[in-house]
Amino acid sequence: MLNKVVWTIGAIVLACCIAVTFFVIDTELNDLEQSRSEPAVALTHPNVASSSPKPKQPDILTYWTNQEKKSAQSGYSEAAAAYQNRIAAYSAGLPSISPLTYDWSSIQSPSAEMELYLRVPMTTESTHLAKHEPASGTYIGMLGADRRVGYDVTKIEDVYGRKHALYLAYVGWRKVQSDTNTYFPTRTAERVKELGGALQIGWEPRFGLDDVLDDEYVRRFAREAKASGIPIFLRYASEMNGAWVPWHGSPQQYIEKFRLVHDIMAEEAPNVAMVWSPNFSPSNTIDDYYPGDSYVDWVGFSLYNTPYSADKEQLKGTVIDTFAPLYERYRHKPIMISEGAIAHTYLPTNQTYWSWSEGQLGYMYGLLPRLFPQVKAITYFNFSRAQAIRTNRAYVYDIGENPFIDGLYQRLIQSDWFISKVETGVDPISYRYTPVTGQSLPTGKQTVLVYPKLENERGEPPFAIAIYQGNQLLGASYEAPWEIDIQVNAESASEPWYAIAYNDKMEPTAVSKK
C-alpha cells in the first residue's frame, strides 16, 4: 500500500540516542490519564462539506476560533496569531480553479504525494481475536508524566477531555514496591481499576537475561498481576533490538526468556497479554528477536518523531514512513504503538517546532490507525520539560506545553475510532478504507480519505485538500485525517478525479490526478 522507507544511518543513530535516555528513566516511571474541552461557538463555512465524523465535534472554523481565544488567554500570542491567519485563509475560501486546464507543471516542487482512499463497509470475517483485542478501532493510552497530570492517572480525563483505556507504567526488575510490599505495581493498578482502565507495564530485566528465571520473583509478580483484576498488557523486555538495553545481543536467549515468561503468565495470570515490543529502529535486527506467534499476543513498537537526526535538522516525512514496513511484517497480529510521541522542543537550542509537531501528530492519530487498521492501541509518552531536563534528554514531548498539539490531541481522540475501555471484541467501526486505483469514483454519497505523503523538506502538511471531478468541486478538508464527504453524480461519474493540496495562501502545492 505504501512505499517502503529506507532509513539513513543518521536516523538509526538518533533512534538509539532517544532510546538510551528512555531506558535510563524507565524504572523511575509509573502512572497516567485525562483532558478539557471548551464550549464551541457555532460558525460555518459557505461551500465545503463537513469532514467531521462526529456531529458533536465543532467544525474546523469553530475549533480554530476557540483555540485562538484559548491561546490568547494563556499568553501564547504567536499561536493566537497563527490561528487568526488560518481563520482568515479559510474565510477567503478556495480559489476558482479549473483542474482540467490548470498548468500543473507550474508546481516545481510538489509539497506532497497524495493517495486517495474510499470508505467501504467492513467485510465480515471470522478472525480469531487475541487477548484483550478489539474487533475494530484503537485503544487510547497515555503515560501521564506531563506537567498537568504529574503521574496522577485520575487527572487524565479532566485534562485531555476523554477517558483513556490504557495507562503506562514501568517496573524495575526485582524492585519491591515499598508502599504495598509487592513486586507488581499494585497501587497504580488499584487506581487504574477505579477508572475502569487497563495497565500496560514495561517490565525490564535490568540485570540482564541471565537473571530471568522461573523463580519466586517472577511467579509472585504473575500472581499479583492476576490479583489486580484488570486487563494487563505486559511489555516484557522491550526495545530488545537496540544496543542501549542490557537484554540486547543474544536473540536466541531473548526468545528463550520471553517464552519462559509467557508460559509462567499463561499458568498464573490469564488476564495478562504478552506484548513483544521492539523499537522502530534499528529495523534490520527486529525479526531475529521474534519469539513466535504462539508466544506473542500483541506486537508493539516504540515510535517517535523528532525534528533532529544525527545533530542535523530533519523535518521531512512522517511516522507513517517509519511504520509502514514494520506493519507489513507483523500485521497478522494486533499491533500497538506501545509508546510513541512527537517532539515539539529541541532542548540543546531551546528551539520550538510547534506547528511542525501539530502536523506530525495529525499523522500519528489521524491517518496511521485508519491506514493500518491492525493498530489497535496507541499510548502517548507524555513527558514534561522538567522531566526531560532532569534526565538529560534532548526533546520535550509534553502535549500541554504546546498549544497546537494540546488542542489537536483532544480533538482527534474524540473520534469514534478511539476506544476508552479495554474489551475483547468491542467493534465500534463498521467501515474500512481501500485505495482508489482507477479513474472513476462510485456514484452517490461517499466518504473519501486523502493521504498526503509529505515530500517537502520542511515537513509541512497541506492547509487544505480539495477533491474535484472534472472541474466540479466535490468537497474539501482542512485537517487530518483528511476525510471528505462527497456526492458523485451519475452523469459525471466518468470524469477524472483530482485531489489538490493548498497552502495557507490558497495556492495549489500538489495534485494527484487520475
Catalytic residue numbers?
A: 239, 339
C-alpha grid cell, residue 305: 518523531
Q: Tally the C-alpha atoms within 13 A of residue 300's C-alpha that lie toward its C-beta.
A: 27
Q: Which residues, in sequence order, are bridge partners of residue 305? A: 342
Angle formed at CA 456 by CA 455 and CA 462, multiple of 5 degrees: 90
Angle formed at CA 30 by CA 24 and CA 33, multiple of 5 degrees: 125
Residue with cell 500538489: 510
Q: Which residues, in sequence order, are bridge partners of residue 452? A: 114
Residues 87, 75: Cα–Cα separation, whole Å: 19
Beta-carbon contacts of residue 184 (< 8 Å; ≥ 6 apart): 171, 177, 221, 224, 225, 227, 228
Q: Which residues, in sequence order, are bridge partners of residue 340? A: 303, 380
Q: Specify the DSSP class assigned to residue 279.
A: B
C-alpha grid cell, residue 126: 471470522
Residues 398, 303: Cα–Cα separation, whole Å: 15
Q: Which helix (H) or strand (E) holds 194?
A: helix 186-194
Residues 51, 449: Cα–Cα separation, whole Å: 10
Q: How far apart are the first and last CA of the chain?
A: 17
